[in-house]
A and B are shown apart, each in its own frame.
Chain A
Amino acid sequence: MDAERELRGMIDDVKAGRLSRRRFVQSMIALGLTAPMAAQMLASAGVAQAQPKAPSFTPTKRGGGGHLKTLWWQSPTLLNPHFAVGTKDQDGSRIFYEPLGAYDPDGNIIPVLAVEVPSLQNGGVAKDGMSVTWKLKRNAVWHDGKPFTADDVVFNWEYTTDPATASVTSGVYKDIARIDKLDSHTVKIVFKTPSPFWSGPFCGPTGMIIPKHVFEPFKGAKSREAPANLKPVGTGPYRLADFKPGDVLRAELNASYHQPNWPFFDSMEMKGGGDAVSAARAVLQTAEYDYAWNIQVEDDILKRLEQGGKGRVEIALGGNIEHIQCNQTDPWKEVDGERSSAKTTHPLLSDPAVRQALNLLVDRSAVQEQIYGRTGITTANFVNAPKQYQSKNMKWEFNADKAGQILEAAGWKKGPDGIRAKDGKKLKMVYQTSINAPRQKTQQIVKQAAAKAGIDMELKSVTASVYFSSDPANWDTYNHFGTDIQMYTTTMTEPDPQRFMDQFTSAEVASKDNKWQGWNKTRWRNAEYDKLWKAAEAEMDPVKRAPLFIQMNDLVIKNVVVIPVVWRPRVAVISKTLREAVQSGWDSDFWNLAHWSRQA
């Protein structure tokens, strides 16, 4: 806890003006903690947030920038942020709708519909973490001319938490006890429990606000019928011109946008469909388009296309992690009509030696070099971002000989067929994942290394739409986890690991009772972990909270509950002429769309 004391001293220095904010952030970077952590530390310690960085270019008048062309290889199908199935719909909605605050690449909140970011110092965040008060912009108007007010904010909470609406954002808003309207442009959000991460609701991709006067008649069961699901009326920099679901979205300049002189472009489009490689071509080689989203393409191809010199590849670090899960329960024995029942233990993987050996058999650098390149970074940790939550204690290594020795020492002896066995149990495992070329290649790499150490792996791959489905009757889903190990990417959608880390808590164990919808797919249970998670949920001091997540991460990694493979950043390709089209790993690709402009 020496580091903690030192930090506190420094924060006090900043408060007293003995140390500049800039210097503080720099020394944090030197400690390996980087800007977002430092900024958040200062904010919660009562030092004001950094002012949002002004765009590198400020136009003297609205519009005049011509047409902006963006390409999404999956097309938006509906434009209500509360129904957004996947990022394509969130991005489409984000052109028209705005949250109170957006997340920049470092995870800082940048005010959008709010006047300022609440903090302890400006009184916005309550000391006990039970509430947060937002001041709203008074000059923001909806595209139909009606003013944006506190009523709209309150309405969004009511709308999304109504179970009959079946909104996909409801999880973010369910911890709100009530929202008080203090005046026409001030709201106080009161939480049910102390909330260290108070910016979940109304910030980022799940925080977009829809107008009350348009959606009120379509709350609850009638929500599907709202015409505005496809014809958005928002506050954003562009207003709808035309939308064809699954094809193209056209928008034109919003002449009454609340930021003076923005937006820059007169019109824009978001075209959908096709595949990622040709989308990258259209930006990097032919320059038909200015921006293409989510280019999950092998890095070799990207490098070749980049040589055209018409655009660049941008990598944005988020928290998404491709990882292998070790089933803690027996997937081959049925107990009370359920395989992988929490009442069983895995015949092989319950031996720590087997799990440790597995951890040594995943050649992460081969996976990065041969498959993902810049789009998948090797890591030893489950939590990799924001930086303050990244553990420095964990190391990974690839060593098949050492894995063999560990197994040998634990009594797993090689049989005549080269497969190790102990007490008549052979080290044979089924390794499942979804059908996706990089994943099948990763499976091969792991299988080969495992064979060397005397573990036989049977590879299984399931179509993504089946593997990730919520069908309770299908045993091939990742929820049911009917095999020994499995691999997929968990997405981390907000710059706070609380929700992300509940996938290892005992309360979330997937079982027949919750129709296998619990987040804990490995069925790992650990009292110490549960305690840490509970503590983090209520800890308001970010300096104390970050180490809790690091400890949780270390517990999961040390026990080899999961084996992280690669940390997967988001990849976009951007025309050389576009300015400010910076991606954030924590928000929609369009989080900063209002400030995009083109170089002459």
Chain B
Amino acid sequence: MSKYLVRRILILIPSLFGISLVLFTVLALAPGDPFEELATNPNVPAEVRMNLRTQYGLDDPVPVRYVRWLTSMLKGDWGFSFVSRINVDTLIMQRLPTTIWVLGCAQLLGLLVALPIGVYSAVRPYSLFDQVATTLAFIGFSLPTFFTGILFILFFSIYLDWLPFIYQSDVPGTGFRWLWNNIRQAIMPVTVLGLAQAASMTRFVRSAVLDVIRLDYINTARAKGLSEWVTIAKHVVRNALIPVVTLMALQIPGIFTGAVITEQIFRVPGIGSLLITSILSNDTPVVMAITFVFACLVVLFNLIADLVYGWLDPRISYR
């Protein structure tokens, strides 16, 4: 086991190195620079833009820039944003709590909806409930979040005037009022994301449970007179959830990068909106940091998923 772990970690290093090289080259070769707004303003002399380009090292050859980025990254310095001129890590840390709160809630909501529906659909396949659930799930994942998001805004904010559609990272007030305001403003983005998540997860849970429920040991459990509830909860779901847990583990890095579109629609100041504004303004250090951290998390959680899988299913051994 420990030998396996060491080997996996050793493989991680060159793969992360390769990922960073590819990311950096692609971003460096992409045309454009962050000074778009200075360009059409006749009051900003050309020298200023040229000066900024040199200061930010944009005129150096790509290999030089990569080595500079890599060495400072290894020292823990993520560089600074071209646009706000502050350190990238500060910028990301400011966005992280909101992203984790909103996306975490959405994942939770997705799970809470998907598990019971998925299991029940599988227990009674092709029943009316299953048909309805399947139809809704298909509608759910064929509707993109930018559409449901705008639909929610039009209905709940503009028509009914119940919920705010502009998310505030620091809600004024304290105590219960603060909590209530926070929940109120999170309802729409969380629901939009959670339901989209739930739609595909329901299908996944359903098929996982269906696989297990036909196995012989379930019949045995039933035969020895266990109640239906105990059979489902203890024998079916536990085993059926092994692939679901792995899936969840692989989705955790996604929480970090945020949900680009939904964050933009509801003005949630998360990592996703930071990523999209940075891409649009060619703020390469920020784009680089977010994508690279995302890559690291994906690689890391892949490893964790593999380990968890073995722990859940003792038949799998590591060599």
Q: Are B269 and A288 in contact (CB under 8 A)?
A: no
Interface flag for B166 (CB, 8 Å): yes
Interface flag for B227 (CB, 8 Å): no
**Which of A466, A471, A517 interacts with B46 by CB under 8 Å?**
A517
Interface flag for A216 (CB, 8 Å): no
Cα of A282 to Cα of B154 in the assembled complex, Å: 11
B169 cross-chain contacts in A, Cβ below 8 A: 244, 247-248
Q: Are A246 and B269 in contact (CB under 8 A)?
A: yes
Interface flag for A191 (CB, 8 Å): no
Cα of A229 to Cα of B53 in the assembled complex, Å: 20
Residue interface mask A66-106, B partner, CB < 8 A = 1:
01000100110110000101110000000000000000000
Interface flag for B84 (CB, 8 Å): yes
Q: Are B86 and A502 in contact (CB under 8 A)?
A: no
Q: Are A245 and B43 in contact (CB under 8 A)?
A: no
Of residues 23 through 70 on chain B, the ones whose CB sits less than 8 Å from some CB of chain A are: 31-53, 55, 58
In the assembled complex, the CB of B229 is this many whole angstroms from the nearest CB of chain A, namely 47
Chain B residue, CB-CB nearest to A223: B85
Interface flag for B235 (CB, 8 Å): no
Interface flag for B265 (CB, 8 Å): yes
Residue interface mask A258-286, B partner, CB < 8 A = 1:
00000000000001111100100110011
Report which residue of A224, A246, A492 has the largest number of chain B beta carbons within 10 angstroms of its beta carbon. Answer: A246
Q: Are A274 and B267 in contact (CB under 8 A)?
A: yes
Interface flag for B257 (CB, 8 Å): no
A470 cross-chain contacts in B, Cβ below 8 A: 33, 35, 38-39, 46, 49-50, 53
B161 cross-chain contacts in A, Cβ below 8 A: 286
Q: Are A85 and B37 in contact (CB under 8 A)?
A: yes
Q: Are A78 and B86 in contact (CB under 8 A)?
A: yes
Of residues 472 through 493 on chain A, the ones whose CB sits less than 8 Å from some CB of chain B are: 474, 476, 478-479, 488-493
Cα of A242 to Cα of B94 in the assembled complex, Å: 12
Cα of A75 to Cα of B281 in the assembled complex, Å: 12
A281 in contact with B44 given A246-B269, A248-B269 (CB within 8 Å): no
Cα of A515 to Cα of B274 in the assembled complex, Å: 32
Interface flag for A363 (CB, 8 Å): no
Cα of A233 to Cα of B227 in the assembled complex, Å: 71
Q: Are A469 and B85 in contact (CB under 8 A)?
A: no
In the assembled complex, the CB of B45 is this many whole angstroms from the nearest CB of chain A, namely 4
Cα of A378 to Cα of B33 in the assembled complex, Å: 32
Residue interface mask B6-27, A partner, CB < 8 A = 1:
0000000000000000000000
Interface flag for B168 (CB, 8 Å): yes
A282 in contact with B166 given A229-B86, A469-B31, A517-B49 (CB within 8 Å): yes
Chain B residue, CB-CB nearest to A497: B42
Interface flag for A141 (CB, 8 Å): no
Cα of A70 to Cα of B172 in the assembled complex, Å: 15
Interface flag for A464 (CB, 8 Å): yes
Cα of A470 to Cα of B48 in the assembled complex, Å: 11
B36 cross-chain contacts in A, Cβ below 8 A: 464-465, 468-469
In the assembled complex, the CB of A139 is this many whole angstroms from the nearest CB of chain B, namely 31
Report which residue of B49, B164, B265 has the largest number of chain A beta carbons within 10 angstroms of its beta carbon. Answer: B49
In the assembled complex, the CB of B166 is this many whole angstroms from the nearest CB of chain A, namely 6
Q: Using a Cβ–Cβ cut-off of 8 Å, how many residues does chain B contribute to the interface with A?
A: 55
A67 cross-chain contacts in B, Cβ below 8 A: 172
B83 cross-chain contacts in A, Cβ below 8 A: 77-78, 85, 246
Interface flag for A171 (CB, 8 Å): yes
Q: Are B43 and A171 in contact (CB under 8 A)?
A: yes
A170 cross-chain contacts in B, Cβ below 8 A: 45, 47-48
Stretch at the interface among A160-168, A351-359, A447-455: A160-168
Q: Are A77 and B33 in contact (CB under 8 A)?
A: no
Cα of A170 to Cα of B153 in the assembled complex, Å: 44
Chain B residue, CB-CB nearest to A516: B46
**Which of A71, A83, A168, A489 interacts with B40 by CB under 8 Å?**
A489
Q: Are B31 and A476 in contact (CB under 8 A)?
A: yes
A525 cross-chain contacts in B, Cβ below 8 A: none
Q: Are A474 and B31 in contact (CB under 8 A)?
A: yes
Report which residue of A83, A174, A469 has the largest number of chain B beta carbons within 10 angstroms of its beta carbon. Answer: A469
User: Is the interface on chain A under 10, 10 to 19, 20 to 34, or 35 or more residues?
Assistant: 35 or more
**Which of B39, B43, B53, B94 interacts with A499 by CB under 8 Å?**
B43
A248 cross-chain contacts in B, Cβ below 8 A: 168-170, 269
B281 cross-chain contacts in A, Cβ below 8 A: 465
A493 cross-chain contacts in B, Cβ below 8 A: 41-43
Q: Are B269 and A166 in contact (CB under 8 A)?
A: no
In the assembled complex, the CB of B89 is this many whole angstroms from the nearest CB of chain A, namely 13
Cα of A469 to Cα of B240 in the assembled complex, Å: 54
Cα of A403 to Cα of B48 in the assembled complex, Å: 42
Cα of A510 to Cα of B249 in the assembled complex, Å: 55
B55 cross-chain contacts in A, Cβ below 8 A: 166
Of residues 252 through 298 on chain B, the ones whose CB sits less than 8 Å from some CB of chain A are: 264-265, 267, 269, 273-274, 277, 280-282
Q: Are A230 and B84 in contact (CB under 8 A)?
A: yes
Interface flag for A514 (CB, 8 Å): yes
Q: Are B91 and A246 in contact (CB under 8 A)?
A: yes
Q: Are A224 and B84 in contact (CB under 8 A)?
A: no
Q: Are A172 and B277 in contact (CB under 8 A)?
A: no
Interface flag for B301 (CB, 8 Å): no
Q: Are A168 and B48 in contact (CB under 8 A)?
A: yes
A490 cross-chain contacts in B, Cβ below 8 A: 40, 42
Q: Are A168 and B44 in contact (CB under 8 A)?
A: yes
A466 in contact with B32 given A78-B84, A286-B158 (CB within 8 Å): yes
Interface flag for B157 (CB, 8 Å): yes
Interface flag for A384 (CB, 8 Å): no
Interface flag for A184 (CB, 8 Å): no
Interface flag for A257 (CB, 8 Å): no
Interface flag for A519 (CB, 8 Å): yes
Chain B residue, CB-CB nearest to A80: B85
Cα of A479 to Cα of B49 in the assembled complex, Å: 13
Interface flag for B80 (CB, 8 Å): yes
Q: Are A275 and B264 in contact (CB under 8 A)?
A: yes
Report which residue of B31, B53, B269 has the largest number of chain A beta carbons within 10 angstroms of its beta carbon. Answer: B31
Chain A residue, CB-CB nearest to B269: A247
Q: Are B269 and A85 in contact (CB under 8 A)?
A: no
A229 in contact with B91 given A85-B35, A246-B277, A465-B281 (CB within 8 Å): no
Chain A residue, CB-CB nearest to B42: A499
A318 cross-chain contacts in B, Cβ below 8 A: none
**Which of A163, A224, A247, A278 interacts with B153 by CB under 8 Å?**
A278
Residue interface mask B67-103, A partner, CB < 8 A = 1:
0000000000000110111100001001100000000
Interface flag for A588 (CB, 8 Å): no
Interface flag for B204 (CB, 8 Å): no
A245 cross-chain contacts in B, Cβ below 8 A: 81, 84, 86, 91, 94
In the assembled complex, the CB of A479 is this many whole angstroms from the nearest CB of chain B, namely 8
B264 cross-chain contacts in A, Cβ below 8 A: 273-275
Known: A174-B45, A248-B269, A471-B58. 16 other contacts (CB 8 A): A78-B83, A85-B35, A85-B83, A166-B52, A171-B44, A171-B48, A229-B86, A246-B273, A247-B269, A278-B265, A286-B164, A288-B164, A465-B280, A470-B38, A470-B49, A490-B42
| 21 A-B residue pairings within 8 Å (CB atoms) | A85-B35, A163-B51, A167-B48, A168-B44, A170-B48, A272-B267, A273-B267, A273-B269, A274-B166, A285-B158, A286-B157, A468-B36, A469-B35, A470-B33, A470-B49, A470-B53, A489-B40, A490-B40, A493-B42, A514-B46, A517-B47
